[in-house]
Amino acid sequence: EAAKKSHDVVIIGGGPGGYVAAIKASQLGFDTACIEKRGALGGTCLNVGCIPSKSLLYNSGLYNRVKKEGAERGLDIPGEVKPNLGNIMKQKDKAVKQLTGGVEMLFKKYGVKYYKGNGSFIDEHTVKVDPIKGGEEAVLSAKNIIIATGSESTPFPGIKIDEERIVTSTGALALKEIPKTMTIIGAGIIGLEMGTVWNRLGSKVTILEFQKSIGGAGMDAEVSKNIQKILKKQGLNFKLGAKVTKGTRNGDTVKVEYEDGKSGKTESIDSDVLLVAVGRKPYTKGLNVEKLGLDFDKKGRVVIDSDYKTKVPHIFCIGDCTFGPMLAHKAEDEGIAAVEYMKSGFGHVNYDNIPSVMYTHPEVAWTGKTEEQLKEAGVEYKTGKFPFLANSRAKTVQDIDGFVKFIADAKTQRVLGVHIIGPNAGEMIAEANLAIEYGAFMRGHLQSLPCSSNAFRGLQGRCHDCLWQPNQFL
């Protein structure tokens, strides 16, 4: 007989959206439970996404730099520097274990009840837990329920994933040997990051992309062109406009057939490993949501209103399984906002200011609008750009590829977007987030202030010294 329990809030899914929502709910005084079927907390991000990929990117990057630039940077390296894949993977696994274990500790600390198993709806207020190893069977009733079940890799029609030779990002994060050759379908962020890892470790990597540019739809076109050149110099081979038609495994090789973007002819590539990285799709299998009659859009995302409420007002949905960019910090912020709505009726996520980072070297990071988005929306804008080539620190450390680009409204000068290719772009972008959040103006504007003061205050749009306001003379 399953144990019957009742909670104020039950959260299904223990990824960045779910676990952050659970901790916040508990902090706000709700009796909270979180159901996770993976056997570890942290979701895609901590187990098979952000964290393991960043570990492999960092360690492969270190190896690559020491090998390629060590001598030039004044290091005496006796013998050859070699990657030890077994140890690189161990290091990655250790990071994942520590971090997922850390979330479990936080659950204990904040009194979140953790159910190990698959959660599915019995009715609008009741969720059943089918336990996995170490879990308990339970029937939970709840005043509020949050669906935070995340996403999964989008399959490629006709290509069968075996996570050994034909892999998704999950398999690409756990290869047992360094492939001599790797083909990747999809030049989005995951494809480019994983391509970078294996290229650095010695694989010959070819990326097939259906679009004419890399980086996915969210990347500014100028940034995309520039980073493509840089990655090409590093050894990634791009075939853009390539339409993949087939991918089959024959023993230890995988053959991919595609229509070449330029000639229109059918070409093929054989490689040791094929990575299918054509995007991710919302995951709501096994939840039994059909029973509740929730709405889904064409992409399979759970339809919610601006308060994260589904059609059933006490059932919320956040993170990868609903609208918006599939990013961990976006899921986390939504987790907090959804719980705040429950508590007080107010919560907030600024969708115009969500940073994205691609952890290649140099890193690529951006927030706010791209030039293309502004053109499409008919907003007049101006740009300001500075290359790292002309930056003393970048020159000193011989890391000169890339630039910082600001985009501001042509009339009000308010910063609308910031796009960076460069060393540590992923950290620098946080300043741009602050600038946009507090309504900062592009610096060029200061030169046209009526006073010569630099004491310009973005937040309220006034100069500290002369109290001049930007709109005053427009």
Contacts of the segment 137-141: beta carbons below 8 A, 24+ positions apart: 137/2, 137/3, 138/2, 138/3, 138/4, 138/5, 139/2, 139/3, 139/4, 139/5, 140/4, 140/5, 140/6, 140/7, 140/10, 140/33, 140/35, 140/115, 141/4, 141/5, 141/6, 141/7
Is residue 254 near ligand FAD by the rule CB under 6 A?
Answer: no
Is residue 135 near ligand FAD by the rule CB under 6 A?
Answer: no
Is residue 319 near ligand FAD by the rule CB under 6 A?
Answer: yes
Q: Both tokens of residue 84?
A: 């030890």
Please list every residue from 88 through 107 that binds ligand FAD, using CB under 6 A. none
Instruction: Name which of 109, 462, 167 is nearest 101 in CA terms.
Output: 109
**Residue tagged 């003379």 (tokens):** 473
d(CA 454, CA 78): 53
The 10 Å Cβ neighbour count of residue 365 is 26
Is residue 219 near ligand FAD by the rule CB under 6 A?
Answer: no
Q: Which of 10, 43, 242, 289 binds ligand FAD (CB under 6 A)?
A: 43
CA 109 to chain centre: 28
Known binding residue 338? Answer is: no
Per-residue x/- marks for ligand FAD, 51-90, CB under 6 A? --x-------------------------------------
Q: Which is nearer to ligand FAD, 38 or 361 (CB)?
A: 38
d(CA 143, CA 410): 49
Is residue 407 near ligand FAD by the rule CB under 6 A?
Answer: no
Q: Which is nearer to ligand FAD, 167 or 374 (CB)?
A: 167
d(CA 439, CA 196): 36
Is residue 151 near ligand FAD by the rule CB under 6 A?
Answer: yes
d(CA 227, CA 376): 23
Please check whether residue 449 is in contact with residue 434, taking contact to mean a CB–CB distance below 8 angstroms. Answer: no
Is residue 14 near ligand FAD by the rule CB under 6 A?
Answer: yes
Is residue 50 near ligand FAD by the rule CB under 6 A?
Answer: yes
Known binding residue 149? Answer is: yes
d(CA 406, CA 101): 40
Known binding residue 102? Answer is: no
**Residue tagged 């096994």 (tokens):** 286
Known binding residue 188? Answer is: yes
Cα→Cα distances 19→26, 30, 384, 408, Å = 11, 14, 40, 36
Q: Which is nearer to ligand FAD, 347 or 461 (CB)?
A: 347
Known binding residue 151? Answer is: yes
Q: Both tokens of residue 282?
A: 């919302």
Is residue 327 near ligand FAD by the rule CB under 6 A?
Answer: yes
Is residue 169 near ligand FAD by the rule CB under 6 A?
Answer: yes
Is residue 328 near ligand FAD by the rule CB under 6 A?
Answer: yes
Q: Residue 280 phi/psi, 5° resolution?
A: -130, 155
Known binding residue 36? Answer is: no
Identify which range of 204-212, 290-298, 325-333, 444-452 contacts ligand FAD by CB under 6 A.
Answer: 325-333
Please list every residue from 23 through 42 that binds ligand FAD, using CB under 6 A. 35-38
Is residue 331 near ligand FAD by the rule CB under 6 A?
Answer: yes
Residues that constitute the known binding site for NAD(+): 186-193, 209, 279
**Interacting residues with ligand FAD (CB under 6 A):** 12-18, 35-38, 43-45, 49-50, 53, 118-120, 148-151, 169, 190, 283, 286-287, 319-320, 326-329, 331
Residues that constitute the known binding site: 54, 119, 149-151, 186-193, 209, 279, 320, 326-329
Residues that constitute the known binding site for FAD: 54, 119, 149-151, 320, 326-329
